[in-house]
Structure 1
Amino acid sequence: MSAPTLPSDRPGRVAATTSRTGYYAVVTTVFCALLLISNVAATKPLEIGGLILDGGAILFPLTYVLGDVLSEVYGFGRAKRTIWLGFALGALASACFWAVDALPAPDWGRPNGDAFHLVLGFVPAIVLASLCGYLAGQFLNSWVLVKMKERTGERSLWSRLVGSTVVGELADTAIFCLIATAIGPFIWAEFWNYFLVGYLFKCAVEIVMLPVTYRVIAFMKRHEPSYRPAVES
């Protein structure tokens, strides 16, 4: 039996699989897990070779790698669902931490409560900055990749991966740093350090991960039954 023709097979459109395999669920699960872990890890600042980063920088760039995989293989529609799911889980985690932090803890002791508050305490400005930056960055990352694919078809995958990340991470980092500095705990003297170092580091991770991203995307395209190569315009 021949595979059905996808609407995205029309000239000027990108190919995206419509199959119901478990790979999409796996990528979405890992994407959301990396996002939640990064949000918790971001509460600790790091100094690496004189550069100041937040702890989330270790894993958060990988969400853009997986975002590229989702957009390249499954299209903007399914990538958008994953992005919204990650947003909802991030907001839920923040609300849960706020509630746990606010409720009394008899016999737990002041030092333990202070330590919990320091790491997981609800900081409205940081939560707002993180969620706004995440939404803008991930949506731009996915949209730019799909738009570039409309023009290049299956060619120049590296340009789509790097180009979408450069735009998405720029928006993400800029929005986060601006909000966290304007109404949050950051100070303007630290703005350019957090912005430039964070942005360049995240883009560097994407470039370093290109060989892995290539292999994952190739595997997904081969094993998704309904995927058809994009028609080059």
Structure 2
Amino acid sequence: MLHKIEQATELHQHRFKYYDLVMVATCVIIVCSNIIGAGKVATVAGFTFGAGILFFPLSYVLGDVLTEVYGYARARRVIWAGFFCAAFAAGMAAFITAIPPADSWNVAVGDTNMQEVFALNFGQAPRIVFASLVAIWAGEIVNAFVMAKMKVASGGRALYQRTIGSTIAGQGVDTLIFYPLAFYGVWSNELLVTVMATNYVLKVLWEALLTPVTYKVVNHLKKVEQVDVFDKQTEFTPFTIKY
């Protein structure tokens, strides 16, 4: 039988087995989503969308798992960890791109050279990096907040309502922040609106399709950790990493 935890002090004393592994997985997905595919627009079967949505929603799935199993405070800590990891990766990519290349390495590649190819892949514009970091942080925080509040309000029932409801809110915030900040004035307004709308719908649908997987992961982790966390006395400020 799961141990229901509502007191922050009691939760702090509990020893978790897999929290750190879920944290690492979330950070990896956030970093890869920020570096790979953030600026690419793809078209498949007539649908135009940002390529990053194929993998980035997995961070929201793990965010739901974190909040449901470990509580809002620990999910918030992971969000901050992912934010700083993504910021470091972006800064590292910008620094390495800016270093003057060695002549022996900077060979011709078709009509260009290795440095320009490298810069095309890793030299993200500061505007895109800033937009991505802000959007990821805000969206994930909203997702965790809604998930935790809905769990308390529902008494822990209907997990699917919490996962989908929190995604609708979190992905909405993420989409509304990222694309205008990153691409307004660069893309046409028509393309911007199209990508925002299709990405938002696809990300929510993707989360809904992954609901059975979320159920299995949540149930397994709760069984292993032997807890069911309710954030009744949690401090919900987003500006801390304490739990």
Residue equivalent to 2:28:
33
SS in 1 for 2:140: helix
Structure 1 position 40, deviation (Å):
2.3
Please list, as runs of the form range in 1=range in 2, the aligned pairs for 1:95-110 lying within 5 A after superposition.
Answer: 95-107=91-103, 108-109=105-106
Residue equivalent to 2:139:
137
Structure 1 position 180, deviation (Å):
1.5
TM-score, normalised to structure 2's length? 0.85
Segments of 5+ residues of structure 1 without an aligned counterpart are 10-14
Q: In 2, are the aligned partners of 1:126 and 1:180 still within 8 Å (CA)?
A: yes
Q: In 2, are the aligned partners of 1:145 and 1:163 still within 8 Å (CA)?
A: yes
Segments of 5+ residues of structure 2 without an aligned counterpart are 107-111, 233-243
Distance in structure 2 (CA, Å) of the matches to 1:17 and 1:121:
41
TM-score, normalised to structure 1's length? 0.88
* 1:196–1:229 Cα change, 3 Å: same
Residue equivalent to 1:12:
none
Residue equivalent to 2:166:
164
Q: In 1, are the aligned partners of 2:68 and 2:229 still within 8 Å (CA)?
A: no
Deviation by residue 1:53-96 (Cα, 9 ceiling, x = unmatched): 22211110000000000001111100000000000000001100
Q: In 2, are the aligned partners of 1:181 and 1:188 still within 8 Å (CA)?
A: no
Q: In 1, are the aligned partners of 2:4 and 2:229 still within 8 Å (CA)?
A: no
RMSD of aligned C-alpha atoms? 2.3
Please list, as runs of the form range in 1=range in 2, the aligned pairs for 1:5-24 lying within 5 A after superposition.
Answer: 6-8=5-7, 19-24=14-19
Of residues 42, 62, 67 in structure 2, which corresponds to 1:66?
Answer: 62
Residue equivalent to 1:113:
115
SS in 2 for 1:22: coil
> Structure 1 counterpart of 2:83, which letter?
F
* 1:190–1:19 Cα change, 3 Å: same
SS in 2 for 1:46: strand
Please list, as runs of the form range in 1=range in 2, the aligned pairs for 1:1-233 lying within 5 A after superposition.
Answer: 6-8=5-7, 19-42=14-37, 43-107=39-103, 108-109=105-106, 111-182=113-184, 185-225=186-226, 227-228=227-228, 230=230
Paired residue total: 223
Structure 1 position 231, deviation (Å):
10
Structure 1 position 177, deviation (Å):
1.1
SS in 2 for 1:122: coil
Distance in structure 2 (CA, Å) of the matches to 1:131 and 1:54:
16
Q: In 2, are the aligned partners of 1:17 and 1:74 still within 8 Å (CA)?
A: no
